[in-house]
């Protein structure tokens, strides 16, 4: 993993987002919506932005009841990967 790469994985019942020296854990049961965000800076002005915004082609928005996270990445299939973790946690 390079320093500018955003890494998303499942850790127990949490979604783990790693970027540079930061780690963010989001309980999978709290995730309400995962979608691609086609706007440049994100639809939600208060969203927590994670990842390097320049040179990345995709923006994935992850909404919980209290927070919105905007993930900047060029890794294809990130939305689908997160959705699969959420669906697995709900079953």
> What would the pLDDT profile of 61-73 be if each residue is shown by its tens digit?
999 999 999 998 8
Domain boundaries, the chain: 6-90
- Report d(CA 16, CA 38) in Å as an integer: 23
| Order of strands, sheet of 14-19, starting from the edge strand that comes earlier in the sequence | 6-11, 14-19, 22-27
Confidence band of 3 (pLDDT split at 50, 70, 90): low
The domain made up of 6-90 is a member of CATH 2.60.40: no
Q: Is the pLDDT of residue 4 over 70?
A: no
> What would the pLDDT profile of 14-57 be if each residue is shown by its tens digit?
999 999 889 999 999 999 999 998 877 677 888 999 988 877 77
Q: What is the pLDDT of residue 46?
A: 87
| Residue labelled with tokens 């294809």 | 76
How is residue 86 written in tokens?
A: 């959420």
Q: Is the pLDDT of residue 85 over 80?
A: yes
More confident residue, 63 or 75: 63
How is residue 76 written in tokens?
A: 């294809």
Please, what sign has the CA dihedral across residues 20, 8, 29, 11?
Answer: negative
Q: Is 85 helix (H, G, I), strand (E, B) or coil?
A: helix
State the alpha helices, DSSP H only, in 1-91: 78-90
Q: What is the pLDDT of residue 81?
A: 95
């Amino acid at each position: 993993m390079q320093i500018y790469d955003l890494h998303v994985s499942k850790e127990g019942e949490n979604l783990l987002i790693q970027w540079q020296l930061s780690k963010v854990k989001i309980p999978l049961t709290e995730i309400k919506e995962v979608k691609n965000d086609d706007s440049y800076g994100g639809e939600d002005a208060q969203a927590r932005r994670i990842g390097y915004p320049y040179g990345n082609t995709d923006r994935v928005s992850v909404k919980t009841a209290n927070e919105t996270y905007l993930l900047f990445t060029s890794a294809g299939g990130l939305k689908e990967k997160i959705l699969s973790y959420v669906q697995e946690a709900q079953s």
